[in-house]
């Protein structure tokens, strides 16, 4: 059986300028030890304008923190004002990129076709997509949360090969839990994450299913992460608000201590 190294990714959203970004990464680097990095992978996902500064710091100080972006264009280059390409992110040595975060789906009307085009764009540039799926409150109240998330997974992974799929990260983020302080119970999170892993086995094969890291996201804090991480199909967390507090994010990364 594949051993999946837990991943904790901090989605800073539209917070922190490049100077504040340097300060936060320095605090994380100071607090996290080699022992932590041996146990878990730690990623930060700052705004685009911070990435070059984060790269300089990570490279210069040979930090074990990795980083990535919160979005990318489905296009590789050209007349797409305001967009950032996968090639540009790869040039900054980004490891990860979010695709289909619920705030992109909600405020920028990104549908599964566009999310899928972005996942494909990420792979064209050797970036690891973190494909986000999750249901809104009405869908959960209707009891359709599992099928909703499986449909988003199917849509996001169209034309993605088994070889590509085994390196992807999937994040289950119930929309009603994002930034609300309302966290899914560990059992609720496991129900969907287990179903997502099952679907990966159907779409590809059991090896892909057991290699893919599935994260939970939605009001994760140091006080609730241990129960979430105790679930068999949850391999880490996508952390929003709590990730811009260095002390809190470090505690989340040390969920087992």
Shortest reach from residue 101's CB to ligand PEP, in Å: 6
Q: How many CB atoms lie within 10 A of CB 233?
A: 21
**DSSP letters for 210-252:** HHSEEEEESS--TTTHHHHHTSTT--EEEESGGGGSHHHHHHH
Contact pattern for ligand PEP over residues 148 through 187, marking x by CB under 6 A: -------------------------x----xx--------
Which of 41, 101, 135, 191 is catalytic? The answer is 101
Distance in angstroms (rounded) separating the CA atoms of residues 176 and 106: 12
Q: Does 41 participate in catalysis according to the annotation?
A: no
191-250: which residues touch ligand PEP (CB under 6 A)?
Answer: 217-220, 238-242
Extract the tokens encoding 22: 């340097």
CA 225 and chain centroid, separation = 16
Question: Count residues contacting ligand PEP (CB under 6 A)?
Answer: 14
Q: How far apart are the first and last CA of the chain?
A: 25
Site string for ligand PEP, 57-96 (x = CB under 6 A): ----------------------------------------
CB 49 within 8 Å of CB 71: no
Backbone dihedral angles phi then psi of residue 193, each to the nearest 5 degrees: -65, -40
The smaller minimum CB distance to ligand PEP, of residues 78 and 181, is found at 181
Q: Find the shortest distance in angstroms from Cβ 242 to ligand PEP.
A: 6
CA distances from residue 229 to 8, 36, 107, 178, 203 in whole angstroms, order as listed: 11, 15, 30, 18, 25
Q: Is 11 in the site for ligand PEP (CB under 6 A)?
A: yes
Contact string (CB under 6 A) for ligand PEP, positions 115-154, x = contact: ----------------------------------------
Known catalytic residue: 20?
no
* Residue 116 assigned as binding residue: no
Binding residue positions for substrate: 11-13, 179, 219, 240-241
Which positions are catalytic?
A: 101, 173
What residues make contact with ligand PEP under the rule CB under 6 A?
11, 13, 173, 178-179, 217-220, 238-242
């Amino acid at each position: 059986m594949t051993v999946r190294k837990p991943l904790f990714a901090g989605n800073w959203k539209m917070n922190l300028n490049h100077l504040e970004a340097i300060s936060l990464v320095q605090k994380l680097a100071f607090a996290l030890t080699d022992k932590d990095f041996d146990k878990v992978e730690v990623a930060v996902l700052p705004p685009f304008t911070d990435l070059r500064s984060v790269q300089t710091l990570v490279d210069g100080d040979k930090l074990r923190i990795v980083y990535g972006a919160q979005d990318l264009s489905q296009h590789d280059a050209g007349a797409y004002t305001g967009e950032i390409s996968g090639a540009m992110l790869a040039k900054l040595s980004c490891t990860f990129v979010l695709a289909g975060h619920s705030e992109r789906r909600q405020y920028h009307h990104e549908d599964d076709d566009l999310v899928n085009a972005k996942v494909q764009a990420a792979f064209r540039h050797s970036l690891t997509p973190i494909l986000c799926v999750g249901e809104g409150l009405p869908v959960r109240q209707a009891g359709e949360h599992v099928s909703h998330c499986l449909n988003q997974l199917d849509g996001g992974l169209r034309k993605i090969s088994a070889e590509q799929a085994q390196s992807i990260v999937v994040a289950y983020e119930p929309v009603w839990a994002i930034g609300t302080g309302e966290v899914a119970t560990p059992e609720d999170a496991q129900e969907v994450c287990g179903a997502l892993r099952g679907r990966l086995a159907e779409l590809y094969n059991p090896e892909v299913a057991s290699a893919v890291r599935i994260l939970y996201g939605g009001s994760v804090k140091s006080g609730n992460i241990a129960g979430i991480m105790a679930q068999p199909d949850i391999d880490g967390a996508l952390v929003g608000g709590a990730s811009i507090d260095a002390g809190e994010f470090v505690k989340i990364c040390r969920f087992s201590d």
